[in-house]
Structure 1
């Protein structure tokens, strides 16, 4: 459920604003505010961000943006079709979202640790 909520929030913000970095901000906020365990924060951020970028890449491919994907594919010198770019973008987004959520969780743990010492 958390993955779906994160995904929908990132999708709405991605569609309403011209910014791509919601993939970092929302998982970081989730990790800081709501995550119970570090690996669950990582998994939620990873799945939601990966799903968002995968969906947006497939939509771009299906709406006649395949020429852009083909040019990017040539630019980064990947063999084959545009599917490798979609796979690479998805993996990068998964790692970014996962580590952002884990960072938020660890920041909360660090701030609570400092509060307990004081």
Structure 2
């Protein structure tokens, strides 16, 4: 295994810091499950994400090439989001992590409760 220095561009730190925030995984999973979606539909599906945070998250995912934003010249304008090929290639790994979390959630929560209690 390589040394992962805190200086310079460490790909593992960079990717994990992006994916490890509160909303990124939820947005990715939502788009994977539903396909192309409008902003308001993503927000309704996730539920407790603010408009500002969803905007920031989608822009970040778009910058990284995981999500594509399609603007349609209609009145009113329509904007849709979907996963790119790169985003789709990430999803088996995200789904594996989600599956692991679901499988071990009860044990983790029980251990947390013991530590707190």
- TM-score of the superposition, structure 2-length normalised? 0.28
Write 1 or 2 for the structure with the bigger share of helix: 1
Q: Is the strand fraction higher in 1 or 2?
A: 2
Q: Which is bigger in relative contact order (C-alpha 8 A, separation at least 6)?
A: 1
